[in-house]
Chain A
Amino acid sequence: MNLSTFFSAAVISATALFTTQSSANDVTLPDLNGQVIVAVTENAYTPLNFIDPKTGNGIGWEYDAFNEIAHRLNAKVDWQLSSWDSMIQAVKQGQFDVGMDGITINDERKKEIDFSMPYMVSQQFMLVREDEGRFEEHTGFANNSDLLIGAQPGTTNFYVAVYNVLDGDENNSRIQLFETFGASVQALKSGDVDMVLMDASSAKGYMGANPGIFKIIGEPLGTEEFGFILTPGSKLTDAINAAIVSMKEDGTLEALNQKWFFDYQH
């Protein structure tokens, strides 16, 4: 599968999601009267949030999207930084009003924090070494017990590895755990693991930065929805949802997909 088709697959599914969810919605958006919303991200998830190597400033899909949401709600954004490890806990405790870092909406997390409606759909792809010939799709990978997969505990790529590729056992010894995403890619490069799952944009980044080292194989796995996280009982949730709907309807989100997933050059 070449890059452009697998990107289209990811973005088309995002479009489909919003088409099914948007209803005839011409209600005027809430006015937050210049309220300051404290928003947090990590800047470590290209292209959703990352630092522009040229300027050192945080940029990306989520920055653009949330700044636009605030603009439509007549609010100001106070951008803060946190790490992925602590983000959900910090938002839960009210350290920040809203957090975003490609956070998958799931029931476990819903017990801890509130989610906005989904703003993006992510799918995982299999990244392997360029010379990989032992398997071509995830069932081939699963059937060969010698093959290992690299993942970060608690993240989407870990759960998709467990439930969509392997046998549903979270302690499966075929999963090698790594602290960061980059570490699992290094392990793939050096042959410690044989496959790493990642979303399309990350895969594109790693392949671009390491020409001739990696390739993508197989079909997309594990469709996940990303949502903004909010302090439990937050009054902002409805307003943010309304803004997301309006941005879906007028094509703003589609334009952001185009800008960050297709046009942006590292």
Chain B
Amino acid sequence: MIKKRSLSTLPWWLLFTVIIGLLLSWNIVSDQNYTQIFNTLSKGLWTTISVTLIAFMLATLVGLVVALAGFSRFSLIRQVATFYVEIIRGIPVLVILFYIAFVGAPEMVNFYNWALQDLIEHNIISAARTRDFSMLWRAIFALSISYSAFLAEVFRAGIQEIDKGQIEAGKALGLNGWLRFRFIIFPQAIKKILPPLGNDFVAMIKDSALVSVLGVQDITQMGKVYSASTFQFFETYNVVAFMYLVLTLSLSLIIRGLERYLRRNEKH
């Protein structure tokens, strides 16, 4: 069926976004000053992308485990899962970042050294030093933990939406827990989960700017450093905003496309 597109359904927001993006891109290409800012900040681009990607994958993993634990038949496991979600969700990302970097990481190193002290004394392995645990990985862990609580809730909501009857039907067919999850729950839940999951991914790209407080050389930290040495705050933060927008908007478009694809498949 061919739909007629009226002016009101045209994606105006996308058109305007593209125009603004082109104008800024032109600025970066034509204005020497902006070119230099862009080149310097590009060095942080890859850090921002990789920190977000790795942290998001870890958060998804932990979030899924926590969500499934919330459905456990053992009350203790359910209680622990809820405790984790409530505590982590209630603490700002920035605070968790400092906790992991300056309390969690040194404790983990101490624990490692304590647990392996016999081997260390016999020179079989060498003792870990705090500095071996890089700020980059502390930042990634902190972001993963912060977001895992939100993602756990996203998964829980998605799974809960599945009609009980479906699960019982699965049981009647003799499918075990894993198979029921794989073939009945997951394919239906993913459609519910995808939009809020994408939303949290976009939010995480932006929150990854917080890792700059640990000195991780992401876009924000590079912007902070560049503006401090050139005293051009306005110009630098224009480029910082531009880079985050390119990342978040292209991700939004990918997720919309994915949602549309899943919806189309549903009709078959």
Contacts and interface: CB of A to CB of B under 8 A. Distances in A.
Query: Which secondary structure characterizes the binding site on chain A?
Result: mixed
Contacts of A96: 131
Interface string B216-229: 01000100111111
Contacts of B16: none
Interface in B187-214: 212-214
B36 interface: yes
A53 B226 CA distance: 7
Contacts of A53: 36, 40, 226, 229-230
A95 B101 CA distance: 11
A206 B229 CA distance: 10
A180 B224 contact: yes
A89 B102 contact: yes
Nearest to A94: B130
Interface string A171-210: 0000000001111011000000000000000000110111
B215 A86 contact: yes
By size class, the interface of chain A is 35 or more
Contacts of B61: none
A208 B231 contact: yes
B215 A83 contact: yes
Interface string A41-61: 011111000111100100000
Contacts of B130: 93-95
B40 A205 contact: no
A50 B213 contact: no
A266 interface: yes
Contacts of B234: 186
Interface in A18-53: 38, 40, 42-46, 50-53
A67 interface: no
A86 B232 contact: no
A86 B227 contact: no
A190 to B, nearest CB: 11
Nearest to B217: A81
A28 to B, nearest CB: 31
Contacts of A263: none
Interface in B102-116: 102, 106
Counting chain A CB atoms within 10 Å of each CB, which of B98, B135, B226, B231 scores highest?
B231
Interface in B128-169: 129-131, 135
Contact of B228 (A52, A182, A186): A182
B263 interface: no
Interface string A92-119: 0111100000000000000000000000
29 contacts: A38-B131, A43-B228, A44-B225, A46-B231, A50-B228, A51-B225, A53-B36, A53-B40, A56-B43, A81-B215, A81-B217, A83-B213, A83-B214, A85-B214, A86-B135, A86-B213, A86-B214, A87-B215, A89-B102, A93-B106, A94-B129, A182-B227, A182-B228, A182-B231, A185-B233, A186-B233, A186-B234, A209-B230, A266-B231
Interface of B: 36, 39-40, 43, 98, 101-102, 106, 129-131, 135, 212-215, 217, 221, 224-234
